[in-house]
Amino acid sequence: MTPCDNPSVGTVQEVRIAQRTGFCYGVREAIDKAKEASAAGKATHTLGQVVHNEGVIADLERLGIETVDTLDDVDHGAAVVIRAHGVRPDVMERANARGLEVIDGTCTWVIQEHRELAKLVDEGYTIVLLGTPNHAEVVGMLGFAPDAIVVDEEDEWDQKIPRKKRMALISQSTQPPWKFERLAALMVGRSHELKIVNTVCPVTIRRQEDTVEAAREVDLMVVVGGRSSANTKELTRLVEIAGVPALQIEGEADLIDPSVFDGKRIVGVTGGTSTPIEDLRDVARRVLEIAGTPDVAARAEELARAALAGAATPAGRTTSLPTPARTPDKVATPGAA
């Protein structure tokens, strides 16, 4: 009897982590800025969760970095980090007016989106914004173009998109490129002049390409990311379109049932833009431990590290600064100026 015939014996021989995974640079920079502020002894807050990942938030909390929902929760003089998604201009103004130390972690790509939107408004275009309504990035973008028409799923496009002489199309950074292109094609037929500003983030595009490439060479793909993360869900969808079974999880703790790997020899691991690359290593190790062949399961830690080393190139650092040990005498009193 081979391991494949006996479900109680693991069959996984190898785990591969997709290239260019881990935090995108926008998320990484915002987290690093928060860590640096805290290490400099500032009472540090982030306006909203700096990343949709509970493990990372817990790490930041251990450093004394607190997530707040509104600026009213931040004491005068304390530091507030604006996350990568950015905010409406009036939020920034209010933070400054309240005497907070604003640390702007808005991703440079998102800053560019804001500039493009302001320009389109000045030029008088009817703006269509492809994005998820109420997503923080979209809310921030609308601060620069309050009259923009937000559209998301394809079945609502026909009804929501008007016929206008001059229209412009722009996108939330993490929308899938195919959706943006399809919407552009529809809008061509609805306007005399159509200005297309392609703000789909290249990191998102590369992530999708690398995930699909990895998926083609494995028997099953594990996609790691927040349950509500749109870019994670899109990765799962693309893997399935490529004809490869996909398993979407939030982290290694979700891997309880080894039977999902029954008969699989090579397993791939990828993650959304808010997933630290270390989480992918931990997932790789867990897969090998619970579903690896006996030899492989015994070397799970070593093999998971090797898979991580194969994915993270020195040129593209994909994780945030190491979390420093907190020095009690360096921590400022909340509310201190």
Task: Give catalytic residue positions.
Answer: 137
Of 73-102, binders to ligand SF4 (CB under 6 A) are 84
Q: Is 106 in the site for ligand SF4 (CB under 6 A)?
A: no
Residue closer to ligand SF4 (CB basis): 135 or 190: 135
Distance CA 249, CA 118 (A): 38
Number of residues in contact with ligand SF4, rule: CB under 6 A?
A: 14
Distance CA 15, CA 7 (A): 19
Q: Is 236 in the site for ligand SF4 (CB under 6 A)?
A: no
Smallest distance, ligand SF4 to C-beta of residue 92, A: 17
Cα 76–Cα 80–Cα 86 angle in degrees, nearest 5: 135
CB 169 within 8 A of CB 191: no
Of 21-50, binders to ligand SF4 (CB under 6 A) are 24-27
Residue closer to ligand SF4 (CB basis): 25 or 125: 25
Written as six digits, the tokens of 181 are 């292109």
Residue closer to ligand SF4 (CB basis): 46 or 191: 46
Of the residues 91, 141, 168, 201, which one makes contact with ligand SF4 according to CB under 6 A: 201
Residue closer to ligand SF4 (CB basis): 84 or 296: 84
Of the residues 52, 109, 138, 270, which one makes contact with ligand SF4 according to CB under 6 A: 109
Distance CA 113, CA 325 (A): 36
Of the residues 273, 275, 318, 320, which one makes contact with ligand SF4 according to CB under 6 A: 273
Alpha-carbon separation of residue 224 from 23, 46, 92, 148, 254 (angstroms) = 12, 24, 33, 33, 10
Smallest distance, ligand SF4 to C-beta of residue 174, A: 5
Of 124-183, binders to ligand SF4 (CB under 6 A) are 173-174
- Select from 42, 44, 39, 50 the least CA-distant residue to 107: 50
Candidate segments 71-79, 201-209, 305-313, 324-332, binder of ligand SF4 by CB under 6 A = 201-209
Smallest distance, ligand SF4 to C-beta of residue 2, A: 43
Q: Is 204 in the site for ligand SF4 (CB under 6 A)?
A: yes
Residue 321 exposed, middle or buried by CB count within 10 Å (0-12, 13-18, 19+): middle
Q: Give the CA dihedral 136, 138, 142, 145, nearest 10 degrees.
A: 150
CB 137 within 8 A of CB 164: no
Distance CA 63, CA 59 (A): 7
Residue closer to ligand SF4 (CB basis): 109 or 125: 109
* Interacting residues toward ligand SF4 by CB under 6 A: 24-27, 84, 107, 109-110, 173-174, 201, 203-204, 273
